[in-house]
A and B are shown apart, each in its own frame.
Chain A
Amino acid sequence: MFSNLVKKWFILPVAVLLVTVIAVAGCPGSSGSSGSFKIIGSNTVEPLSVVWAEEFMKAHTEVSIAVSGPGSGVGIAALIDGTTDVAQASRQIKSAEIEQAQANGVEPYEIQVATDALSAVVNPANPVSELTIAQLSAIYTNQITNWREVGGNDAPIVAISRDTNSGTHVFFKEHVVQMAGLPTADKTLEYGSKVLFLPSTKEGVDEVAKNPNAIFYPGLGYVTDEVKPLAIKKTADTPGVLPSVATALDGSYPIARPLLYYTNGQPTGAIKDFINYCLSAEGQAKVTEVGYVPLQ
């Protein structure tokens, strides 16, 4: 009878203790040296990180890497909150985010791992084959709403964008919608209210493949045969340049951008080994395979 009672009052605390221990053991933060870490962030960088992580884990079986790509903003927010080890990003960290990170005791350390040629794609049935950055800006601010105005069919334009989680969303807004670096630059321009905001790059490419009136801006790695990339003209007088590894490398493609990793301080341990692999000749060869532009 006594033992029965003891059993009852004993099992509960033991169970609670066990659950706590398991929960703590499963928590991140103790990683780095333990050989398991997370990469969270850009949907654009995700396919590249996945390939690198798979190759790296083949060679280093004791390391496990988890990659997810909800968006650059998500990755940077996770780095600030301490819930990821590496943030992958297709845009630079903002000064406001650096301040937030420092307030949380996180010191963002930037590493460029590849370059991307941000492509504007349309349906193959669309006769339009080149646009200036100013025209793209007008399309995404809803000032131009018919393909006829840019030399196409008499059909409404369905402008598709990524949602605000996306680094591509922010990069495109600054460099195309607001035309940063051009004489016509205007910091007050915003995406028009008719623009569709989709949760993933894949979904945008799929919609363009189905919809003859749609336009979208995926990273070069997401461009498939089902969509047609447009030649981009910096201004009306310069020649149109198609996005490719070559044109991004020689600097002639106007909307190329860095793909970045952010860590908390200089990387150490398994993360350092992984990033060294990414930057090696072998790792950079994978960049071309995935469809992005290697660093050299």
Chain B
Amino acid sequence: MLGQKAAFATAEASPDKGLRRRWRIGEKFIEGWVFLTGLLAIVVLLGIIALLLKEGLPTFLYTPPWEFFFGTKWYPVSEPPTFGIMPFFVSTLWVTLVATAISVPLGIACAAYLAEVAPDKVRETVKPIIELLAGIPSVVMGFIGLMLLSPLVQSAFNLNTGLCGLSAGIMLALMSLPIIVSVSEDALRAVPDQFRQASYALGATKWETIRHVCIPGALSGITAAVMLGVGRAIGETMTVLMVAGGALAVPMSPTEPMMPMTSAIASGIGNAVRGGLQYQALFAIGLILFILTLAVNGLADRVLERQKRKFAR
């Protein structure tokens, strides 16, 4: 930092105009390069949206939107094929609901412990370990769900099969836990220390301080954490493909085998010929999924922004 400033000062003071011009050209070049890379991300996003619209929308010429969304029959390889995505949509809701119901209380409690209770040493060891959990490949999580969790769930709930939405939801909870813990912990630590001290000065206990001061103070950050976790759960594919069971009925409870939207795309796309009816229908599911995750992530972004502004004063 300092060295750079010094170099800049000498360049500025130098009478050698050539050197200065060269310096400026280099600067312009890098500026342009950074601008281009920034642009690239936007171009890719717009490209994905355009592709999803181009490949997905024609499906509504074959299946009217109403039948597509509320139809309960998905027979893509039959003659003639029928496309109704209600079972997939409901499955996604169930699996996400189970994942959220487990990961949110656990995640916030864990974050509160790490931010407010744990000594620095414990926090510095535990937090990276939890974040490491996010790095486990989803196919490995699927494998664990298949081999360890599904027999457990089957015997614990006395089900016909352990391959069901509940098992998938539990695995997804484990996968979104690191995001929830990490982001909520950051939010809790951003709550100014004066708040806590004021609370203690009023005679509040540690629990009362966490419950009535820290968590409400960090609420927007925690909400964002939850949203990010939910977004992860909605979009996860491999684990649910392996563990959720893949039945085509509209599931009435999370203990039934089901096929969320992501698995439906993954298990059908290989077989779909480019431009065919099934291909278009799968892209339409992709479009819906994209809008869903975009909405959740966008909401999370808005909430996080609010949290930042709150403590900027």
Contacts and interface: CB of A to CB of B under 8 A. Distances in A.
12 contacts: A4-B22, A8-B29, A71-B270, A163-B246, A164-B267, A165-B270, A170-B77, A193-B72, A196-B163, A199-B246, A207-B161, A213-B160
Given A77-B272, A195-B248, A164 B77 contact: yes
A169 B276 CA distance: 20
A81 B275 CA distance: 11
Interface in B132-167: 146, 151, 154, 160-163
Given A73-B77, A207-B161, 12 more contacts: A8-B26, A71-B271, A73-B270, A77-B270, A81-B273, A193-B87, A196-B161, A196-B246, A196-B257, A197-B247, A199-B266, A199-B267
A226 interface: no
Interface in A187-221: 190-191, 193-199, 203, 206-207, 210-211, 213-214
Contacts of B75: 190
B203 interface: no
Chain B interface main SS type: loop
A158 interface: yes
Contacts of B76: 164
Chain A interface main SS type: mixed
Contacts of B272: 77
B78 interface: yes
Interface in A40-57: none
Interface hub of B76, B259, B266, B274 (most chain A Cβ within 10 A): B274
A70 interface: yes
Nearest to B248: A193
B25 A5 contact: yes
Contacts of B249: 193-194
B270 A70 contact: yes
Contacts of B38: none
A163 B273 contact: no
Contact of A77 (B25, B241, B247, B273): B273
A203 B242 contact: yes
A74 interface: yes
A136 interface: no
A177 to B, nearest CB: 11
A169 B25 CA distance: 63
A210 B270 CA distance: 29
Interface in B262-298: 266-268, 270-274, 276
B281 to A, nearest CB: 12
A36 interface: no
Interface of A: 1, 4-5, 8, 70-71, 73-74, 77, 80-81, 97, 100, 156, 158, 163-165, 169-170, 190-191, 193-199, 203, 206-207, 210-211, 213-214
A77 B275 CA distance: 11
Nearest to A198: B246
Contacts of B248: 191, 193, 195, 197
Interface of B: 18, 22, 25-26, 29, 72, 75-78, 87, 146, 151, 154, 160-163, 241-242, 245-250, 257, 259, 266-268, 270-274, 276
Nearest to A187: B79
A70 B266 CA distance: 11
A1 B21 CA distance: 10
A193 B247 CA distance: 6
A213 B26 CA distance: 71
Contacts of B22: 1, 4
Contacts of A156: 160
A156 B268 CA distance: 28
B273 A197 contact: no
A77 B272 CA distance: 7
A195 B241 CA distance: 15
Given A163-B246, A163-B268, A197-B247, A158 B160 contact: yes
A190 B273 contact: no
Contacts of A197: 246-248, 259, 267
Interface hub of B22, B163, B274 (most chain A Cβ within 10 A): B163
Contacts of A100: 273, 276
Given A73-B271, A77-B270, A207 B78 contact: no
A196 B18 contact: no
B146 A203 contact: yes
Nearest to B272: A77
Contacts of B154: 211
A199 B87 contact: no
- 9 closest Cβ contacts across the A-B interface? A73-B271, A74-B270, A193-B249, A197-B246, A163-B267, A165-B271, A193-B248, A158-B161, A158-B160
B163 A199 contact: no
A197 B268 CA distance: 11
Contacts of A77: 270-274
B257 A165 contact: no
Contact of A199 (B160, B242, B276): B242
Contacts of B26: 8
Contacts of B77: 73, 164, 169-170
